[in-house]
């Protein structure tokens, strides 16, 4: 297993086959439209790093049940061909924590995003690189989304609308982490 520098993709060796973990493919037909993504998640996926069926994680707009109101949702993107018929999904605890990291870093970005005309810099969509497991999870604005300029505004609005609810949970999380010695 190695990282192909030409494609920035993970290569895993299975028997005599070489298989690329495909980059996150953005689908506009799903109920989740990605706005912030970690498209290189395969490199830092806990004990499954570099040998995973997950190509990325994202935060985006999900179609809410409240009269079509969009809310923020998280998504784990599976490698093409991987699907499950189970309507529920069991998540390893490290993925839950990685989603929390993505939420925290995204929230931090949007605290100052008003300074940018499009709420992000189209020439530099990378928000941060979070060091994990000897690699880094790239947190970026998902410029593969063809409607990103409109969707990022809707995302920021939804984040602001739910700010009190999200903030309450983040404060509790911060307090618990401090009590645990982190």
Task: Tell me what pLDDT residue 78 has.
Answer: 86
Per-residue model confidence (pLDDT) at position 5: 36
Q: What is the mean pLDDT of the chain?
A: 83
pLDDT of residue 30: 64
Closest by Cα among 33, 82, 40 to 57: 40
Identify the top-confidence range among 21-25, 78-82, 118-122, 131-135: 118-122
Report pLDDT for 82. 55
Over residues 73-77, mean pLDDT: 92
What number of CA atoms fall less than 13 Å from residue 82's CA on the CB side? 13
DSSP line for the chain: -EEETTTTEEEEEETTEEEE-PPPPP-SSSSEEEEEEETTGGGS-GGGTTS-SEEEEEEEEEE-TTTT-EEEEEEEEEPTT-----SS----HHHHHHHHHHHHHHHHHHHHGGGSTTSS-TT--EEEEEEETTEEEEEEE-TTSTTHHHHHHHHHHHHHHTHHHHHHHHHHHHHHHHHTT-
Would you state the pLDDT for residue 123? Answer: 98
67 pLDDT tier (thresholds 50, 70, 90):
low
- List pLDDT tens digits, range 26-60: 565 568 899 999 999 999 999 999 899 998 999 99
pLDDT at 15: 30
């Amino acid at each position: 297993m190695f990282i192909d520098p030409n494609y920035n993709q993970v290569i895993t060796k299975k028997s005599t086959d070489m298989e690329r973990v495909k980059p996150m493919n953005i689908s506009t037909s799903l109920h989740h439209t990605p706005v912030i993504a970690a498209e290189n998640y395969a490199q830092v996926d806990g004990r499954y790093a570099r040998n995973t069926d997950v190509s990325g994680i994202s935060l985006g707009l999900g179609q809410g049940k409240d009269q079509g109101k969009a809310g923020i949702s998280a998504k784990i993107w599976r490698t093409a061909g991987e699907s499950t018929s189970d309507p529920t999904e069991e998540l390893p605890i490290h993925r839950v924590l990685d989603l929390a990291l993505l939420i925290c870093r995204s929230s931090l970005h949007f605290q100052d995003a008003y300074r940018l005309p499009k709420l992000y810099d189209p020439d530099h969509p990378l928000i941060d690189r979070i060091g994990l497991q000897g690699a880094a999870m790239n947190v970026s604005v998902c410029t593969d989304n063809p409607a990103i300029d409109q969707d990022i505004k809707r995302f920021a609005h939804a984040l602001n609308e739910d700010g009190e609810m999200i903030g309450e949970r983040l404060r509790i999380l911060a307090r618990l982490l401090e009590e645990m010695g982190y």
